[in-house]
Chains A and B, each alone.
Chain A
Amino acid sequence: MIHINIYRYNPEKDKFPYMQTFEFEKPKRDIMVLELLNQLKEKDPTISYRRSCREGVCGSDGMNINGKNGLACITPLSSVVQKNKLDLRPLPGLPVVRDLVVDMTEFYAQYEKIKPFLQNDVPVDIGERLQSPEDRDKLDGLYECILCACCSTSCPSFWWNPDKFVGPAALLQAYRFIADSRDTKTAERLQSLSDPFSVYRCHGIMNCVSVCPKGLNPNEAIGEIKSMLLSGKNKENIIASDGMS
């Protein structure tokens, strides 16, 4: 038997959150944590959690699994159960709506702040903006983020200042547009991140890298943004100096 401890909190009924233990018979074949939750929900329909695609694409079922953030749908039970025990909690740092469901408003507010869309003042004359294969390669490792919030909610800087520190997920996306050769607002994007909180509250502890279920490296992207801010160089400067040499 596996002892599954699940964080329970229903603000309409409970004064305080508590951990509820469920006994679960060890499955013959390895299953994902989401499948385990689905089976438990059949026994207790009040257990609340988000899920949708069940294949690590939608990013809905981010949660804290035995102390480490991850996606329940792509986390095999065998990889997380220790001494027949498993703790499931909501993503840390965000307000809990119910059980494993958190309020993502602050996370999305930071995402909105970095203007996650292509900005280009030059009119398009051939119907689409073209990009060389080399420039397209620069976006690999950046565009794949599914906004599951596992990284940002594992970051202490984001816990303490979710309204000021942009957080690893949104910063990865900020760099995704800064690095995009088709985007012409690099200077403005960097300017909007130049205060002491937005980027500089990242102290490089790399929890974000450790937990990212897609294997991305927000810390590297943050490092690139810091380098651009510190050198005073933006993409246009770099392209101009490359052209002169």
Chain B
Amino acid sequence: MMGSTLFFIQRFSALFLLGYSLWIMTFVFLNQPLEFTAWQIFTNQLEFLILTTLVAFISILHAYIGLWTVGTDYFTSRTLGFLHPELAKYANLIRGIYTLIFCIVGLLIIFIILLTIWS
């Protein structure tokens, strides 16, 4: 993938997450003291459900790019070789496991969010 594409995905997803956070905070701020019924009505509206679903996917995408960057910085044969020469041989395997763990955790987070808001 092109560097510019990743750059735009990260920036636009960050803006989307910022907008969503501000929207939630504004609601909380304008509805003081916040009562359960008001919060329930707010979280049951279709806009909330759709936007929160989008946030789940977008935040995982945003985090994936960030963590991929971290992984390709610190889990390489060169960087791991600084710790121990033997580790350098397993750099791809270690990075693969790191990516796999993150993907599993990410999918689990999405599943929990979707299950919580749509059930």
Contact = CB atoms under 8 A, between A and B. Distances in A.
A200 B76 contact: no
A200 B6 contact: yes
Interface of B: 1-4, 6-8, 69, 72-74, 76, 78-79
Interface of A: 156-157, 160-162, 194-201, 226, 229-230
A161 B4 CA distance: 19
A230 B4 contact: yes
A230 B8 contact: yes
B3 A160 contact: no
Contact of A198 (B3, B6, B73, B76): B3
Contacts of B73: 156-157, 160-161
List the 7 shortest-distance A-B pairs measured between CB atoms, nearest first: A200-B3, A160-B73, A196-B3, A229-B4, A230-B4, A194-B2, A196-B6
Contact of A200 (B7, B74, B78): B7
A197 B3 contact: yes
A163 to B, nearest CB: 8
Contacts of B69: 201
A198 B74 CA distance: 17
B8 A161 contact: no
Contacts of A162: 78
A196 B2 contact: yes
Contacts of B7: 200, 226, 230
A194 B4 contact: yes
B3 A161 contact: no
Contact of B3 (A156, A157, A199): A199
A160 B6 contact: no
A199 B6 CA distance: 12
Contacts of A197: 3, 72
B10 to A, nearest CB: 10
A170 B21 CA distance: 40
Given A157-B73, A160-B73, A161-B73, A194 B79 contact: no
B114 to A, nearest CB: 29
